Structures are given as C-alpha cells and as structure tokens.
A and B are shown apart, each in its own frame.
Chain A
Amino acid sequence: MGAQKKSSAAAAARISDDPEELSRVPLQAVLLADSFTTKFRPITLERPKVLLPLANVPMIEYALTWLESAGVEEVFVFCCAHAKQVTNYLQCSQWLSQPNFSVATIESHNSVSAGDALRLIYERNVIHGDFILISGDTLSNMSLNRALQEHKERKKKDSNAVMTMVIKRSKLSPVTQQSRLGTDELFMAIDPDTKQLLYYEENTNHLKGTLSLDKMLLIDNPSITLHNDMQDCFIDICSPEVLSLFTDNFDYQHLRRHFVKGLLVDDIMGYKIYTHEIHSSYAARVDNYRSYDTISKDIIQRWTYPLVPDVLLFGNSATKLEREGIYRATEIVQSRSAQIGPLTVIGNGTRIGNNTKITNSVIGKGCSIGSNVLIEGSYIWDNVTVEDGCQLKHSIVCDGVVIKSGSVLSPGVVLSFKVVVGQNFTVPAYSKVSLLPQPTKQDSDEELEYADNNSDIETSPIAGAHDNLNGELTSDLTDMQSSAAEELGSGGAGYIWSICEGASEEEWRHSVAPVPAEKLAEISQTIDDDLDFSYQDGNAPASSGELKPGGLSDSDDDDVDANNDSAYFEKEVEATFLRAVHENVKVDHVILEVNSLKLSYNMEFAACAGAIFYSMMKLALGTPYNSSAELYNAVVNVLTSWKRLLKSYLSGKDEEIEIILKFEEMCSELAKELSPLFTKILCFLYDKDMISEDAILDWESEKNYADESDRVFVKQAEKFLQWLREASEEEEEED
C-alpha cells in the first residue's frame, strides 16, 4: 500500500510539473541535535539532550515526526556532543528507512555553537533551497505550509527577506512567562503590516527599566508594534543566504543573540527577518527543566496532538488513554490499592506496589515502584527502582536510578543516570546528583555556553562507556560509586553537584519544581521596582524636554568623546603648525598634513580653520612682548606670514564665523592679553580679506540673543560693526 501511495504521489507530482516545479528542490531541514547549552547538566554529560525522554519518548522523535508530517523531505541532523549516541539511535530507529523522508547525520566534534554548526553545514554544501532550522528539542504540531508560502512570496518580492521566525502568543506578565517555560522575557518589535521583525531583545537584565529603540525605526515605519506577549518558538524558515551569512560573519555563535541581533542592529546588506505568528497550533522548545515540565504536561493534556503518547507509536508498546488523562502502557503490574492520579503516564512493564500514590507524573518503562510511595509531579525515566516509603516531589529521575526505602526527594531534585540514593536520605531541594563529579571549570554563564562543548567531549568517553555497557556497572564505576557514596546516605552513590555562586538564586527559575510563592512575589516586586525606576526617571525635575537620566548621561558621554577628539585634533594641528614654523615647511605641505589630520579625526573644515587660527595666536602669544602694541605686531606678523595657510581653510562664511568664535573664546578664556586687541585684530582680518563682512555681521546677529557676558566682544567691536553696517547699506543704496 505504501508503494501504491508513493507512486500516486509521484504521479501527482508529475501532473503538476511546470517549469517552476521542475527546478523545485525538496524541502530540507536542519535539526541541531545539540543545544550548545549546559542547562540540562548533569544529565547531558551522559546522554545528549535530544535523546532525553519527554513523556517516555525521546525528544528527537517529536521533532522528526513533526518535520515528516509537515512535508519536509530531507533532514540533516547535526550532532556534536555525544554524536555517536545520536547516530546509533537513529540507526536503530525507523527514520533512516522512511520513504520520501531521508534523514542524514552530520557529525562534528569541534563545534561549540549553532554558528559553528551552520558554518559546517554550509561547507558540506548540502542545502540547496529554503530550509527549516530547528533544534532537536523543539516540539510542534504546526503546519508549515502557510509560513513557507509567506516566506517564498516575500523572498520573491524582496530577496533580502532571508528568514521567517515562528512566534506564538503567550500569556502576558513575566510571572506567568517565568512559571511556564522558564525562559527570559522577550521583547520584540514587529511591523504590523509586513510582520517584519525590527527588534529582538531577550531580557536577561532586569535592572534596565526601559527599552531603547532606534529612532530610525519609526522613521521608516509609520507604526510598529512592541510585544512582550510573544514567545519565540525557535522554528525558523531560512533561505540559503543564512548559511553564508554565518560563514561570512565567523563571530556569530548564537542564533538569536548574534545572528538575529546582528541582522537587526548592524543592518548587514539590508537583510530582513520576518515573523509568522501561529495561533492554534502548538510549538515550544525544551530549553530548561521548567519547560521540560511544562511541555510534558502539555503533551499529556494533548495540546500537542497528534504528538501524544497514545498516537505517537514508539517502540512496540501501545499506550492507552484512560479517563482523567491517564496513559497506561500494556503489561503494567499495579497493586489494587495503588492510586494512579490524573495526568499521569505509566510506561511498559512497570510495577507499582501497594498504597502507592502517583499524580501528575511520568513513569518510564520497566520501573519498579514499591509500596507506600508518593510520587507527585515527577519524571521518572526507565528502569528506576523506587523502594518502599519514598516521597518524590517535582523531581527528575533518570534511567537506572535506585532510590532506597524511606528516602525523600525534595522539589527540584535531578538525579542523573544510575545514581543510588541511600536509605532514609533526604535529597535537598534543587540539588543535582550525578555519578560524575562536577566539572571543575565553571566560568561565567556566557563562557560556559561555548566552553561547554569542550567539556562534553572530555567526558564523552566515560559517557560512551556507560552506553556500551548498557547498564552494567563496570569496575571503575563502582570505584566512583564508593568514592561518591557518602554524599547520598548509606549505600548511596553519586555526587551532589554544588551549585555555583550566583546560580543558586537562579536555580528555582529553571527547575521542574513549581515556582515558590515568595519568588513569584519577588518577581512582581522587581516589576514594581522597575516601574519605580522608570518612574524615577520621569521624576527628575523635568522641565520641558528634560531627558531621562540615562539618556542624559549617554549624550554626555558622546559629548565628552567629541570634546576629547576635538581637543586632540587641536593639539595635533598646533604641533604640526609649530613644526612648520620652526622647520620652515612649505605651506602646501602643511595644508596636506592638516588635511590628513582632518580626515583621521573626521573634522569639518571649520574645525581646521579654528585650530589653525588658534595655533597662530598661540605662536604670536609665545613671542616675547611688553605692550599690547607689540603683541598686536606679533599677531599681525604671524597672520601675514601664514595668511595662505589660513585662507586655504576659509572656503566660506561658516569657517570665518568659526574663526571669530574661536578668537572670542581665546580672548575670554585662554589669553586675556588678547582681549583688548580683539577689535583691532578683527579689523586686520577684515582688511586682509580673511574674514568677510558678511561673516562678521552674521556673527553679531548670532550673538543677538546671547547672554550679556557673551556679548562683551560684540560691544567692544560695536564701532567697527557699526561702520561695517553703514558701509554695507551704502553699498546697497549704490546698487
């Protein structure tokens, strides 16, 4: 029947053969089977994230099933950490033998980021058209048709539209955001008409109370929408250009932080990113333990249909849905007195003892759960042994763990593979326990992102060993066990990872445990404070047009920079000029040198003129003089001898005014000796045609509205100005 279907599909394809279809490339997808983060440690030290079970099915199954149903024909699975495990897994699965759906793996051992991965894929030259880029921990049931079509149409109109990002509306308020997916809050600006993404900020820093948007955004778009209520699904439809962009910009590592930001902020080649909002379908990414919890619950509550345990056939065991959202595999041995609560998944071959109560939890295959056990909101993977009288609340328990009788797992506990918890031991809240000791190098978060992969490789041989031995304890493992025994009570095995500084406060954010009430209050408090903060901004004595302090200081910085620049520039020009004077350099050469200075400091001609004039005056002041008459002579000397230099920068009125202003500034601040000579020198400059009467009169009118103190020199030159005005009026009359 499959063959029949295939042939009919082929026939259909043939019928619709038109020139465009002929050149059609199969829809491709890149699945990054490595998240390049450390959020799932210590579990990911031993098993890649994509193979972790979500409601008893490895995550990658969900991603591949979705890609297949969405019409993708070729998937490239990029594996990095634990690449062997991923490829082994795929080989054992049915994915490699699907008709119309090919899965190929690309292995790499030295990629440390999504950027590296995409660069490698570009080198392999396997992507020929638009492709879907997801990471292996993405879960969705959306239909890609609309988004793809939109993307293609946009691409036809504008070849710069290289990416379409799928977004989904989420509930407002950071409180719910935090408690749902545990992700940072996200601010986006989108053009409401074209859906172009204009701004993207993952807010990790809660202190900043304001969002700063480039003013150019609103100039180009009459209206934009800012969103805080959108969730990034991490499903991107990309054009092949995206790959080459990663290759061109070899410093791009993170998809969002570098690539999206880079395109939006740096405006590279005018490439644009668009968004596609999905409304009724589901899409989310398992980013951390909290989203693991949330998404598992979503699966159990069937938001992800058809990706739910009873439809998604995994392995050979069928799962049946019973009332109250209980999924049971076949061959479960359950005591009559055990209570299985609502919204629970129980895997194949699991045995449950007397009076045990299980609610809101997922239990894997082949587990054995004793009597009088309480399991609440926990995720228990395969082959776990829970002895009598244990309490498990909001924990993740990996394969092969043994929890001895009477133990308690406090909320937020993560037990990695094959850990043994001793008798009557209480594992403290939020602790992460692994047979592997905590890697010692723990740097700041940012570096971890990239460093992480190296350490993965370091540890992968051990992980590989685990795998190969498939559950049997090797001698070195027992060694470890014995050394790690004490931490988990008598007979326990495993290291409790110490929570590094700073992260301890963050622990609750990403944990499977529900957010404690006081933390919720804290979040709302920070929001309050935010408001306070921004409010303070506004509170600053704001007369009309007063700026917020932030803005003010920014501009101050800029000003300071500019001032510094111009000060340096002046010094350089002065040095050049003095050298010219002392070494008798030709005027032309001086002009050349000043011009190059002008270019390197990005100055205007006016600034050059000002600086040269300033150096001339300094020179004149430097010559010895006894009376103002002598000083005047010195000034005149310098001005006459270097007249050509100055003239060459006096191309217009603006420059001339600049000189007058500079001169005024000097007289009033640096060289008070010059001030009595102001008018005289001004006359001289006018006589020698260096400054035109227009410039002088303009300067005067510019000063019209200035303070009295600023007008000292205008007053001093009043007579001269008067004369100039009369002269000009006479001229006009002559006209």
Chain B
Amino acid sequence: MDFQVVVLAGGFSKKLVPIVSKEVPKALLPVANRPVLSYVLDLLEQSNLKDLIVVVEGNDAAVRIGGWISAAYLDRLHVDVAPVPEDIGSAGALRSIAHHLTARDILVVSGDLVSDVSPGAVAAVHRRHDAIVTAMLCSNPVSGPAESGSSSTKDKTKKPCRKNIIGLDPSRQFLLHIATEAELEKDLRIQKGILRTVGEMELRADLMDAHLYAIKRAVLLEVLDQKETFQSLKEDILPYLVRSQLKSEVLSSSSPQLEENGNGNFNPQNKQISQSHILANASNRGFHELYPSCLDGSASARRTHKCCVYIANNEKYCARLNSIQAFSDINREVAGEANHLSGYSFSAHNNIIHPSAELGSKTTVGPHCMLGEGSQMGDKCSVKRSVIGRHCRIGSNVKIVNSVVMNHVTIGDGCSIQGSVICSNVQIQERVALRDCQVGAGYVVTAGSEYKGDSLAKKEK
C-alpha cells in the first residue's frame, strides 16, 4: 500500500508514575498480560502494514522495547526501533527520524492505542480523498475514563473537561476544526472563512482523537522543516493543517508549473513543487472545489488541501492508555467486554486461567478475570474483574476486585485489594487493605497497613 508506519511509543511517561519504571516503559505496560504496544503492532499486522518505525524516547527504553519487539515479532514485522531524546514532543520525534521516511504516505500511530479499528480503513479513506492528513476519531469510550456513563452527569455540575472539540462538515468526512489543548480552556474560536465555505459545521465534543493519523509524507516533511517551533503533532501540526486547508500556504510559495513526480525521487529542490502537484491533483470532491468555483475565474487559482477524518463505528473499541485511570479501565475492558482484543480464548466462565496456575480450595475467580501463567492462589480467595499476571503468589483469604496485579507479586493472607494497580515484584504483607491505590514496582507494603487513594512507590535515590 506504500504506507510507512511510525509508532510513537513514548518513553517513561510522567503521568503514569508510579506504574511505569525504568524496567517498564509505558509501551511495555501490560494490558491483559501483554505489553500495550503489542496491541498496536498486531493491529497493524492485521492490516498488512509491516514496515514500521517505532520511535522511543530515551535510549534505555529503546533498548528494552527493541529487545521485546525483536523477540516477539521476529519474522512477522519489519521493525526499526529509533531512539530519540526525551521531551522533544511528537513533532520533534518525527523530525529526528524524517530521513527514514520514504513512502508516499505516513501513518503515525500512538503506541498506547488499544483498538480494533483497522488502520487500513483509515489509510483507505486517506487515499480515497487524496487528503493530506486523515485523522481517526472514535466516540468517547462509554465505559472508559471514570465510568463516565454514570458519573458524567454528576461531573457536569462540577467542572467537566472536554478533551476534544472537533468540527466536521455535514457529510462527516472532512475535518474543519480541531481545538488544541490550550484552546479548550477558552471560548471557542472558529474561522469564519471555513464556515463560509462549508456553510454548516458540526462541532462535536463527544469524539475522541485516537492519535492515529495518515499524513502525506511530503507535506509532513515540509511542515516539519518550515515550522521549527512545532513540537507536537496533535497540538501544532494537525491544527495548522486544518486551519490552512482553504489557503494552503504549504504551496503558496511554489511555482505553478507542474512536474512529474514519482514516488521516492524527492530531493530538497523539487520538494515543494512536487508537493503542490500532489495537492493540486486532489480529486474534485467536497467543498474544497465548490468554493473557488463560485468566485470569478482568477480566484480559482486558490489552492486547498483536504483534511479528512475516519470516524470509527460506535461498536468498535478504542482507548488510549494515557493515564492511570485509563490503564485500569483498559485492562478491565480488555479482559471483559472487549475481550476479542486480548487474543485469548475465554473459558466457559468468561475468564482465563492459565493451565499452570494453581488455585486453592474454595477460591473463586469470577468472569472477566485473567490469571497468568504459574500464579498461585491460596484458599478462600475471591477475584473479580481483575487481571493477575504471571508467577504471582497470593495467600489465603485474599480479595482482589477491579484491580490489575502485574507479575511476580506476592500478596499475603487476608489482604483486600480494590481498584488498585500493583506493579511487578511488589510484596504485600498480611492483612493489607488497599483501595484505589497504585503500588510502584518492588515496593513492600507492610503488614496490616491500610491505604486509600494513595500512590506508593520506592523512593528514588
């Protein structure tokens, strides 16, 4: 398909402290006992997109992720892992790997996406409209962040946050407006020019930008090249492209003469020309062409470019692991409603208990639960809606509800763990009660202690 895929896998996200650690960068956080990155990679593989560049912030993380990928995807995908410095933003990351980009269109995916929407469909829309950028949108996760279904009504009276404000044309094919994060705080400002041209714009706050974009390579490179201050793909480049779609500056500087452009023979001299060619060749669809046509002849020289959207079906699952809340939600959902994503086949009880796992007597593991390889549980335990990793040792009379327990965790007798995330190698001594806590890797929770809504981690010295 001549698409090159860039997976932005991030590094050690500050937002996810303490559940990320030096050993476990964000991309390797387990979702239903598989690294989150594997969901994106599998998804791409299903769409037959096998030529990938995985961009990782920081060398340590790159080494770890690279190691995991080469072990897991040997002979399946062709993956380059490119380490980039930390905190350079997504645009910076793309800038630093720009010389690796060769295909006509680039698919940029965030490494924390857990979804079953086919990237191939996005790519197809992109090609069909000959758009310069196509963004994938999906409806806000229903059961997602903060169990929104029930609490959103309560939130409304407080201070609800709208993460995305997106303007679409009436046919819902074109992206007309996208608010950046800073703009969300303020009153909305809509370009009248675009509104005049389209006539009607639908503003949606219930769509989520899935951070999966198909972008024309030439455009991407030029924007990266010309706008050195741009830091983020979502916050800078995308709004810029959307804003300028009716007056494409990306081409205003170019000479009108057209030149035959073949894929892959770009060089800096003819880059702009070929780009204008790409854009001018855009097929005659939508308002972009309608507009100049109602002006007098001279104005028809106006160049436009298309920013499209692919709106995923409501039934599709789509979530991003970008907060601790999202981490537990996604784990719960992948083990539950969206279990087709996990790639495991569920038992009759709607749960997965690895054959090598041992359960004590009168221990129950409810539906929508997972119990990893080699984990042991004592007597009279109860597990509900939780994911438990490999080689955990869990004592007797332990209650685990709505929680994620990673690998090699030891839990003493009589513990009660609710709504918490327990990272690898944590030791929880007897009679501990945790509620809505995160316990960082290697932490020891002393016997009998009780925590609520705390974040426990080893002090980094």
Question: Cβ of B192 < 8 Å from any Cβ of A?
Answer: yes
Distance to closest chain B CB from A216 (angstroms)? 9
Q: Find out whether the CB atom of A226 lies under 8 angstroms from the CB atom of B195.
A: yes
Q: Which residue from A185, A192, A215 sits with its C-beta under 8 Å from B186?
A: A215
Distance to closest chain A CB from B429 (angstroms)? 19
Q: Which residue from B162, B203, B204, B229 sits with its C-beta under 8 Å from A542?
A: B229
The residues of A that contact B189 with a CB separation of less than 8 Å are 210-213, 548, 550-551
Question: Cβ of B182 < 8 Å from any Cβ of A?
Answer: yes
Q: Find out whether the CB atom of A530 lies under 8 angstroms from the CB atom of B192.
A: yes
Q: Find out whether the CB atom of B247 lies under 8 angstroms from the CB atom of A532.
A: yes
Q: Which residue from B167, B188, B206, B229 sits with its C-beta under 8 Å from A212?
A: B188
Q: Find out whether the CB atom of B204 lies under 8 angstroms from the CB atom of A223.
A: yes
Roughly how many angstroms separate A586 CA and B246 CA in the complex, as a whole number?
69
Which residue in chain B gives the minimum CB-CB distance to A547? B182
Q: Find out whether the CB atom of A209 lies under 8 angstroms from the CB atom of B188.
A: no
Question: Cβ of B295 < 8 Å from any Cβ of A?
Answer: yes
Given contacts A228-B196, A545-B181, A546-B182, contact A524 B299 (CB under 8 A): yes
Question: Cβ of B318 < 8 Å from any Cβ of A?
Answer: no
Q: Find out whether the CB atom of B203 lies under 8 angstroms from the CB atom of A223.
A: yes
Question: Cβ of B359 < 8 Å from any Cβ of A?
Answer: no
Question: Cβ of B259 < 8 Å from any Cβ of A?
Answer: no
The residues of A that contact B225 with a CB separation of less than 8 Å are none
Given contacts A215-B185, A538-B240, A544-B235, contact A210 B295 (CB under 8 A): no
Which residue in chain A gives the minimum CB-CB distance to B246? A531
The residues of A that contact B187 with a CB separation of less than 8 Å are 212-215
Interface size on A, residues (CB 8 A): 56
Question: Cβ of B382 < 8 Å from any Cβ of A?
Answer: no
Q: Find out whether the CB atom of B243 lies under 8 angstroms from the CB atom of A538.
A: yes
Which residue in chain A gives the minimum CB-CB distance to B243? A538
Given contacts A215-B184, A225-B202, contact A527 B196 (CB under 8 A): yes
Question: Cβ of B249 < 8 Å from any Cβ of A?
Answer: yes
Given contacts A219-B156, A544-B235, contact A534 B196 (CB under 8 A): no
Question: Cβ of A560 < 8 Å from any Cβ of B?
Answer: no
Roughly how many angstroms separate A172 CA and B302 CA in the complex, as a whole number?
18
Q: Find out whether the CB atom of B235 lies under 8 angstroms from the CB atom of A226.
A: no
Interface string of A218-253 (1 = CB under 8 A from B): 111111111111000000000000000000000000
Distance to closest chain B CB from A167 (angstroms)? 12
Question: Cβ of A517 < 8 Å from any Cβ of B?
Answer: yes
The residues of A that contact B249 with a CB separation of less than 8 Å are 535, 539
The residues of B that contact A539 with a CB separation of less than 8 Å are 249
Question: Cβ of A478 < 8 Å from any Cβ of B?
Answer: no
Question: Cβ of A490 < 8 Å from any Cβ of B?
Answer: no
Given contacts A218-B162, A543-B230, contact A227 B193 (CB under 8 A): no
Q: Find out whether the CB atom of B247 lies under 8 angstroms from the CB atom of A228.
A: no
Residues of A within 8 A of B (CB): 172-176, 185, 187, 189, 192, 203, 208-215, 217-229, 517, 520-521, 524, 527-528, 530-532, 534-535, 537-539, 541-548, 550-551, 555
Shortest 6 CB-CB contacts between residues of A and residues of B: A229-B199, A545-B182, A213-B188, A172-B199, A222-B206, A531-B193
Q: A211-B189, A543-B229 are in contact. List 5 more A-B contacts (CB 8 A).
A: A172-B199, A192-B202, A222-B205, A223-B203, A538-B239
Residues of B within 8 A of A (CB): 89, 156, 160, 162, 165, 167, 180-193, 195-206, 227, 229-232, 235-236, 239-240, 243-244, 246-247, 249, 290-291, 294-296, 298-299, 302
Name 26 A/B residue pairs within 8 A (Cβ), A-sorted.
Answer: A172-B196, A172-B198, A172-B199, A172-B294, A173-B294, A174-B196, A203-B192, A209-B191, A212-B188, A214-B187, A218-B188, A220-B156, A226-B190, A226-B195, A227-B199, A228-B198, A229-B199, A521-B296, A524-B296, A531-B191, A534-B191, A535-B243, A542-B240, A546-B182, A550-B189, A551-B183
